Structure 1
Amino acid sequence: MAIPFSNAAAAYTNAATRGLNVPGGRAAAPTDGPSFGDMLEEAVSQSVQTMRTGEEMTAKGVVGKADLADVVNAVTNAEVTLQAVVSVRDKVISAYQEILRMPM
């Protein structure tokens, strides 16, 4: 689920530029590249795959079919992914609550 900083910065710059160049300040429909939904879907599928890999390696480790280092590495990756997903979820909820508090 690691997204390079340069990709995130480029996406932000692209989105900001589109919003500034449209009359009324509204963002235009994307013309190239993946949409936000596509990026989100890819990140979620990568997260799920990382979690599944951790589970599979744990099961293989229990029956003695995997090296301990591989099991620890897979479980650590799954743990870091879970922490990142929870952090993003918390930020999204916080942003939504802030929007709800805005006066109309």
Structure 2
Amino acid sequence: MMISSVANKTAAAAYARTQSGASLADQASSIDDSAGTDSGTSFGDALQSAIQGAVQNGKDTEAKAAAGLNGQGNLTDIVTSISQAQIVLQTASTVRDRVIQSYQDVMRMTI
């Protein structure tokens, strides 16, 4: 099943709005408006932001796990944090695999 480019842009814009802390009303009203428009950020900026978020998530998870080992953490917060870190790692691995696959596809193209 192939997802269209417009759907990818819409999903990326919606994710960016949730990360920026926009209200639900603002998010819902601008989902239709964002289809097919540029958000003004470059791919490099978006990638750097995603990497920084993943690193920060990992640091937060490590801190919560260390607090749990010392008997100071909330078990629910620790498990939730570890699950989020696992999802972030799976997402990063999937993106990496897709980038490598795309690079290989471009290298196989005939000129």
Per the TM superposition, whether the score is higher than 0.5 is yes
Larger radius of gyration: 1
Count of matched residue pairs: 85
2:60 to 53, 57, 66: 53
2:37 to 3, 11, 14: 14
- Higher relative contact order (Cα pairs below 8 Å, separated by 6+ residues): 1
Identity %: 36
User: 5+ residue gaps in structure 2?
Assistant: 1-9, 15-30
User: How many Å apart are 1:33 and its aligned residue?
Assistant: 2.0
With normalisation by structure 1, the TM-score equals 0.72
d(CA) in 1 for partners of 2:87, 2:74? 20
Question: 1:14 aligns to what SS in structure 2?
Answer: coil
d(CA) in 2 for partners of 1:78, 1:6? 20
With normalisation by structure 2, the TM-score equals 0.68
1:42 to 8, 28, 49: 49
User: 5+ residue gaps in structure 1?
Assistant: 16-31
AA aligned to 1:75 is I
d(CA) in 2 for partners of 1:68, 1:7? 33
d(CA) in 1 for partners of 2:84, 2:45? 23
AA aligned to 2:11 is F
Aligned equivalent of 1:69: 76
Quick check: 1:96 aligned with 2:103?
yes
Large movers: runs of 4+ above 4 Å: none
Provide the aligned C-alpha RMSD in A.
Answer: 2.4
